[in-house]
Amino acid sequence: MITCDEFLAEFGDYLENRVSPEVLKELELHLSQCRSCHVLYDSTRQTVQIVTDSGSFELPQNVSESMIDQVMAKLRAERA
């Protein structure tokens, strides 16, 4: 079985589904045997999910609308 360091070396690609079938087999075997890597994988996957679903850094609709309105008013005034 591969070591934890070898698992970590492929971990980023694994989260992104970018590993070959042969590597995938090794990683999944490791995960089934190693508790700490399993916890790491599971919680990192959840982290990505939570971050993605959080809708963070959403500029409130009214703020962005009024900002665009301001800029456009300025540009239209220059044009006129």
Partner 1 sequence: MSFLPEVDLGDEFQPFATLDEVRGSIPKLLRAQSLLPRVIEGHAILEKAVRLDRGVISREQKERILLCIAAARHDTYCAGLARNALRLLGEPDYRIDGLLDDHSRIDLPVVEVALLDFCLKTALHSLSVSSSDIERLHQHGIADEAIIEAAVTAALAIYRCTLSVGLHPEPDGEPWKLPPTREGSLPEPAAHISTRKRPQAGPYVRAPYLSPQRFAPFEKVANSHGFIPNFFRAQTLRPDLLSAEVELVTLVLLPEDVLTRTQKETILLAVSAANLNSYCVAIHCNLLRGLGVSADEGEQIALDHHRSSLPDADKALLDFAIKLGSKFPEFSLDDVTRLRAVGFADQQILECEVVTALNNFANALQMGLGIEHDFEPPLAFEQKKANLCAALDRRTTEDSSISSVTVQVEDSDAELTAQAQAGSLDAFEELMRRHSRLVYRALAAILGDPDQAQDAMQDVMLSAYEHVAGFQARSKFSTWLLSIARNKAIEYLRKRKNEISLDEAPFREDQVFRPRELRAWVDNPEQAYSRLEIQQLIEKGIMALPAKYRIVVMLRDIEQLPIEETARQLDLSVPTVKVRLLRGRLMLREWLAPHFAAGSRRAAQ
The residues binding partner 1 (CB under 8 A) are 2-3, 5-6, 8-9, 11-13, 15-16, 20, 22-23, 25-26, 36, 39-40, 42-44, 46-48, 50-59, 63-64, 67-68, 70-72, 74-76, 79
Least CB distance from residue 37 to partner 1, whole Å?
9
Tell me the C-alpha distance between 68 and 55, whole Å.
21
Tell me the C-alpha distance between 17 and 45, whole Å.
12
Q: Which ranges of 1-80 would DSSP assign to H, the alpha helix?
A: 4-15, 21-33, 35-53, 61-79
Least CB distance from residue 30 to partner 1, whole Å?
10
Report the residue number, 32 or 67, with the smaller CB distance to partner 1: 67
Least CB distance from residue 31 to partner 1, whole Å?
13
Would the CA dihedral through 67, 69, 72, 76 be positive or negative? negative
